[in-house]
Amino acid sequence: TLGDAIARTMRMLGYNVLHPMGWDAFGLPAENAAIQRGADPNVWTRENIENMERQVRLMGTGYDWSREIATCDPEYYRWNQWLFLRLYERGLAYKREAPVNWCPNDQTVLANEQVIDGRCWRCDHAVERRNLSQWFLKITQYAERLLGDLEKLEGWPERTRAMQRNWIGRSEGTQFSFGVENSEERISVFTTRVDTVFGVTYLAVAPEHPVVEKIVTNKHRSAVREFAESLKSRSELERTSLMEKQGVFTGAHALNPLSNERIPIWVTNYVLAEYGTGAVMGVPAHDERDFDFARKRGLPVAQVIIAPGTDVQAPLQAAYVEDGRLIASGDFTGMSSARARKAITDRLAALGLGEAQINYRFRDWLVSRQRYWGTPIPIVYCEQCGEAAVPDDQLPVLLPQNVPITGEGSPLARDPAFTNTACPQCGGPARRESDTMDTFFESSWYYLRYLDPHNARAPWNPEKARHWMAVDQYIGGAEHAVLHLLYSRFFYKFFHDQGWVFGADEPFTRLFHQGMVLYNGEKMSKSRGNVVGIDQTAETNGVDAMRLFLLYVTPPEDTSDWTDEGISGRVRFVNRVWRACEPFFDRARSTDVRAIPRVDTPEEKALVRAVHVAAKSAIDETLSRRFHYNATIAKLDEYVNALTALEQSKPDSAAVHYAVHALPLVIAPFAPHIAEELWERMGHTASVHLERCIEPSAEALAVDEITLVVQVNGKIRARVQAAPGITEDEALKLAMEQTGVQAQLDGKEVRKRIYVPDKLLNLVVG
């Protein structure tokens, strides 16, 4: 509804608006329906699209249906496969074994972005860690650009940019290695606080770290294994948030490369295998986690940083994590933390042991799924040639029909008709990849397909992208901040690098997050059984009243609550509009809506003004990209209230004629049905939606009289009516006549006067 009101207003302002609609149709809901009711996902999805499209059309949304797309259509997903192969050719899609998120309920792996607080974004089931060989997209190669270009996205909400910044999680530090005593092994660590390196009293290593097996002493081997096993059975959720810091000694020691101190190596549960190097230097004096762990394990605390201005210290009661000045740090003693970080990194680099390093918290995007209802990944595995791409001329790799879906294991893997194929290189027997793509793959580029939806030779024509892109106004929920909106930026930058799109390398110039719609304070969902029957509500209240209500309850970025009482105000409004116009139906085209009528009385003048105030509000809210149509609709209320009132007393007034005939034009973007009906009944033959909107006129917006606020010492003491443009002296004269003002002045001297023309006069007295 919001997008439609924007598109309609822009169109009536004379812009060429592309307002398309498509269906993100692959994904788990269809597959789950198949499991639960034995439905064919294909049929189920088509039925859903049909029903949703019917409802969207019912709401009077003016999409360009000739550009409609559905991602489950082979016409669409063949280009998914095509794009996947381009990424593959350029090394941006790769298969690798790695610890990944596994949802045991949905029986598939998930991207990190799809794990919310350790749970599956779809079914809320706790996610497990598994080592699996999976397809990834190298989004981390674009980390720096994805992060840096956030600054350029001034049309995006700050919170979304902050979320992406958080998610990318850049951190600058130093990576360097410790030698292991009596071993050739070295253990690399990453730290942002290399200035604390002389305070290292132990090394902490993740249990999965490959070095563990190599360095653990026989005496400690069984304890370490037992510890690692005990962690394996726990979900990531338990490991991170619910468990205390634990650890076991490996029996091995490392050597601090700068101090040559001998330090114990521990395996701990609080070091993550996937971040940084999987190993951390333990500095209890200057890191809260390390302090906590050292205390539990009786490890020494060695302070090497002191707060500026202090010198000797009692034993630390808590970690001192601030920057400061180095002590007991060899050559570096006395330096500030900032200087020391650079100097120590340089020294480590000179020794060939390390270097400055930038780490990102986010990982490559895991795109393969062990599910049926998605785009097949166009790769085959040949016994002779290994992994091979499906050639472009064999696309699309069609998703087979009538595959049994049980919810156990990958459906495609069990379908020999699908998996058995010939190797595109040697022609020998080969097996197709049975995983499908994450649905976010499709949704990362669909906006480009809208430009060229029926192109059979390419996903889109670059010249069309040159003409239309980037998207001027993107509307979507905030829940996609680190999913769809990040992936799309990545894809678009890739397309830009390939020369498939031009100009800015960002797909969405302006982004607006629309709030959710609640029903009586509850989230609408099928599982709660409280989805408002659109058909039924439309039946009782009318579509235009629904549209108006959705825009009116709350500013569009906020969560709105659908209440059955609330909509009655809009139903009344629509009825009032009709009643106000009804008497004019038979007086066809009696008024030129482009000519502002001459009026005599203040009431008539006020009505003409109300028309222009409302028209201006719609335009201002649109062009300012604020979209607070709730304020615009309030002004429509005032417009119609003024019209109804004057129609009672002076039904033949030129102002009433004007206001009646202008009304369809002003409400057209918000209540398109009644607007069209009224327009026709007033004798117009062409659609109101092809008209230009009413251009706000300064003359019509001008007022004859203003209310001047008179303050004494900043407190309001009187309000006086005056003509606009009144001079300060005249205003003062008027003000002094007011008894309330005189009482406050009480003969005191006016020290200062502040005059805001046509608004306010403030008298400051001693």
Partner RNA sequence: GGGAUGAUGGUGGAAUCGGUAGACACAGCAGACUUAAAAUUUGCUGCUUGAAAGAGCGUCCGGGUUCGAGUCCCGGUCAUCCCACCA
Q: Which of residues 612-671 bind RNA (CB under 7 A)?
A: 617, 620-621, 624, 626, 628, 630-631, 633-634, 637-638, 641, 644-645
Closest approach, Cβ 653 to RNA, in A, equals: 17
Closest approach, Cβ 84 to RNA, in A, equals: 26
List the one residue out of 728, 559, 671, 33 whose CA is nearest residue 663: 671
Compare residues 405 and 577 and give the one whose CB is closer to RNA: 577
Helix (H, G, I), strand (E, B) or coil at 400: coil
CB 642 within 8 A of CB 607: yes
Helix (H, G, I), strand (E, B) or coil at 451: coil
Compare residues 24 and 638 and give the one whose CB is closer to RNA: 638
CB 350 within 8 A of CB 415: no
Compare residues 243 and 736 and give the one whose CB is closer to RNA: 243
Closest approach, Cβ 122 to RNA, in A, equals: 14
Q: Is 361 in the site for RNA (CB under 7 A)?
A: yes
Compare residues 333 and 649 and give the one whose CB is closer to RNA: 649
Between helix 672-681 and helix 568-581 the angle, nearest 10°, is 10
Closest approach, Cβ 475 to RNA, in A, equals: 17
Q: Which of 17, 709, 722, 745 binds RNA (CB under 7 A)?
A: 709
Closest approach, Cβ 494 to RNA, in A, equals: 23
Build a one-symbol-per-residue string for 190-209: x at contacts with RNA by CB under 7 A, - elsewhere: xxxx------------x---
Q: Which of 4, 195, 287, 544 binds RNA (CB under 7 A)?
A: 287
Closest approach, Cβ 260 to RNA, in A, equals: 21
Residues 403 and 436: their CA atoms lie apart, in Å, by: 14
Which two tokens mark 601?
A: 């009385």
Q: Is 605 in the site for RNA (CB under 7 A)?
A: no
Q: Is 90 in the site for RNA (CB under 7 A)?
A: no
Q: Is 240 in the site for RNA (CB under 7 A)?
A: yes
Total residue length of the chain: 766
Stretch that binds RNA, among 9-17, 164-172, 372-380, 382-390 (CB under 7 A): 164-172
Compare residues 290 and 506 and give the one whose CB is closer to RNA: 290
Binders of RNA in range 256-285 (CB under 7 A): 269-272, 275-276, 278, 280-281
Q: Which of 251, 569, 597, 683 binds RNA (CB under 7 A)?
A: 569
Q: Is 555 in the site for RNA (CB under 7 A)?
A: yes
Compare residues 633 and 731 and give the one whose CB is closer to RNA: 633
Compare residues 46 and 289 and give the one whose CB is closer to RNA: 289
Compare residues 475 and 709 and give the one whose CB is closer to RNA: 709
Residues 349 and 352: their CA atoms lie apart, in Å, by: 5
Compare residues 604 and 621 and give the one whose CB is closer to RNA: 621
Which two tokens mark 85?
A: 């192969």
Compare residues 72 and 258 and give the one whose CB is closer to RNA: 258
- Going across the sheet that includes 706-712, the strands are 715-722, 706-712, 760-765, 750-756
Closest approach, Cβ 748 to RNA, in A, equals: 14
Residues 582 and 101: their CA atoms lie apart, in Å, by: 63
Closest approach, Cβ 556 to RNA, in A, equals: 9
CB 689 within 8 A of CB 11: yes
Build a one-symbol-per-residue string for 102-141: x at contacts with RNA by CB under 7 A, - elsewhere: --------------xx------------------------
CB 249 within 8 A of CB 205: no
Quick one: residue 475, left, alpha or beta (phi over 0 = left, psi -120 to 50 = alpha)? beta
Query: What residues are paired with 615 via a beta bridge?
Result: none
Closest approach, Cβ 549 to RNA, in A, equals: 9
Closest approach, Cβ 667 to RNA, in A, equals: 14
DSSP letter for 8, please.
H
Q: Is 150 in the site for RNA (CB under 7 A)?
A: no
CB 428 within 8 A of CB 435: no
Cα separation of the two ends of the chain: 57
Cis peptide before 470 (omega within 30 of 0): yes
Compare residues 408 and 565 and give the one whose CB is closer to RNA: 565
Q: Is 711 in the site for RNA (CB under 7 A)?
A: yes
Q: Is 576 in the site for RNA (CB under 7 A)?
A: yes
Compare residues 342 and 576 and give the one whose CB is closer to RNA: 576
Residues 335 and 338: their CA atoms lie apart, in Å, by: 8
Alpha-carbon Rg for the chain in angstroms: 34
Closest approach, Cβ 555 to RNA, in A, equals: 4
- H helices within 582-653, ranges in order? 602-623, 629-649
Closest approach, Cβ 449 to RNA, in A, equals: 28
Q: Which of 52, 58, 123, 162 binds RNA (CB under 7 A)?
A: 162
HEC string for 105-150: CCCEEECHHHEECCEECCCCCECEEEEEEEEEECHHHHHHHHHHHH
Q: Which of 169, 400, 407, 757 binds RNA (CB under 7 A)?
A: 169
Number of residues that bind RNA (CB under 7 A): 88
- Residue 631's CB is within 10 A of a number of other CB atoms, namely 14
Percent helix, strand and coil across the chain, each to the nearest 5: 40, 20, 40
- Residue 276's CB is within 10 A of a number of other CB atoms, namely 21
CB 377 within 8 A of CB 435: yes
Q: Is 233 in the site for RNA (CB under 7 A)?
A: no
Which two tokens mark 630?
A: 């709730």
List the one residue out of 556, 510, 536, 523 whose CA is nearest residue 670: 556
Closest approach, Cβ 720 to RNA, in A, equals: 11
Q: Is 41 in the site for RNA (CB under 7 A)?
A: no
Closest approach, Cβ 230 to RNA, in A, equals: 13
Q: Is 243 in the site for RNA (CB under 7 A)?
A: yes
Q: Which of 9, 201, 235, 762 binds RNA (CB under 7 A)?
A: 762
Q: Tell how many helices (H) and how many strands (E) occur in the chain.
A: 26, 32
Q: Which of 3, 22, 41, 173 binds RNA (CB under 7 A)?
A: 173
Closest approach, Cβ 401 to RNA, in A, equals: 37
Closest approach, Cβ 254 to RNA, in A, equals: 15
**C-alpha distances out from residue 761 to 45, 728, 758, Å:** 66, 8, 9
Residues 204 and 206: their CA atoms lie apart, in Å, by: 7
Q: What sign for the dihedral angle of Cα 307, 311, 316, 317?
A: negative
Compare residues 429 and 477 and give the one whose CB is closer to RNA: 477
Binders of RNA in range 362-401 (CB under 7 A): none
Compare residues 50 and 288 and give the one whose CB is closer to RNA: 288
